[in-house]
Amino acid sequence: MEVAHGVGPGRIDIAYERFGPDESPPVLLVMGLGTQMLGWPDGFCSQLVGRGVHVVRFDNRDVGLSSHLTEAPPYTLSDMAADTIGLLDALELDSAHLVGASMGGMIAQAAAIEHPQRVRSLTSIMSTTGDPSVGQPSQEALSALLSPPAATRADAIERTVSIVHVIGSPGFELDEAELRRRTGVAYDRAYDPGGIARQITAITSSGDRTVLLRSISVPTLVIHGEADPLVDVSGGRATAGAIAGAELAIFEGMGHDLPRALWSEIAERIAELVARAEAAR
């Protein structure tokens, strides 16, 4: 793990990890609400590296070992997109392929809209456009996500398991032991419920991107679970519909997580998109 200091307009610190040969096409993985870079499992990163890309995963602002903005004014997804581009600057990368999950998909979309020269391709996973008429959560999923924050490490683990049982993939087996292990590691790295609240504010204050998404011209892949109760599949359909030429892949039985059984296929689709975008450069 390394830390890039003074990143982006906010001059914040961003913790990151790199996998694979430096000379391979760079793929930046942007994670979702309140989730550290560990939300991109090592095994999934290895699947991507095995398909010829260089992977960078990082902690967004307000999670993990990146800066926590306790005293800062509210921020938006555009600010988080600027962090992402700032990390590219710190890594001396002129551009990269962006892969975002959930809120990370929203951040990657904003980066592709606002910094088009820095984005080689866009993959938006289990995300949405910001249009309130699509991608809405079920009441059960929303209640689970907004349940009271944990007071202890053990509570944090149980809370996460309970949430994933609601929003996860009904068509695939949950590796609960691994989820418990990863949640414990994340808690030990940094636990900041206030940071999650600030990220929620960023999402809710950033508005509808539908019209702006039409400006995206880079190769785009939209991945969504047909059984996603937190971001309804209509959000993925709307995202793909707003971006000319976007490819839409909907997985039956997939909810709002990355089931191990789908890692290989998802990684293959991302790698194919990267190869296609690299060939067109």
The CATH number of whichever domain residue 240 belongs to comes to 3.40.50.1820
Give the pLDDT confidence score for residue 280 in this predicted structure.
Answer: 87
95, 102, 121, 169: the catalytic one is 102
What pLDDT digit, counting tens, does each position of 152-206 carry? 999 999 999 999 999 999 999 999 999 999 999 999 999 999 999 999 999 999 9
11 Cβ neighbours under 8 A, 6+ residues apart:
none
Q: Indicate which residue of 62, 79, 83, 228 is catalytic.
A: 228
Instruction: State how many domains the chain has.
Output: 1
| % of the chain with per-residue pLDDT over 90 | 97
Residue 143 falls in the annotated catalytic set: no
- Residue 146: count other Cβ atoms within 10 Å of its Cβ: 11
Domain carrying residue 23: 2-280
Q: Which residues contact 16 (CB under 8 A, 6 or more apart)?
A: 1, 2, 3, 4, 37, 56, 57, 58, 59, 87, 91
33-42 mean pLDDT: 96
Kindly give, in sequence order, each residue whose CB lies less than 8 Å from that of residue 150, ignoring residues fewer than 6 positions away: 156, 158, 159, 191, 193
Going through 84-194 in order, the beta strands assigned E by DSSP cover 96-101, 119-125
Choose among 15, 10, 14, 13: nearest CA to 72: 10
Q: 49 falls in which pLDDT band (50, 70, 90)? A: very high
Mean of pLDDT over the chain: 97
Q: Is 102 a known active-site residue?
A: yes
Q: Collapse the DSSP code of 233 into the 3-class scheme (helix H, G, I; strand E, B; otherwise coil) and give the result.
A: helix
Encode pLDDT of 225-235 as tens digits: 999 999 999 99
Q: What is the pLDDT of residue 10?
A: 87
Beta strands, E only, 21-144 = 26-30, 54-58, 96-101, 119-125
**pLDDT exceeds cutoff 90 at 8:** no
Q: Does the pLDDT of residue 121 top 90, yes or no? A: yes
* Annotated active-site residue in 54, 68, 97, 256: 256
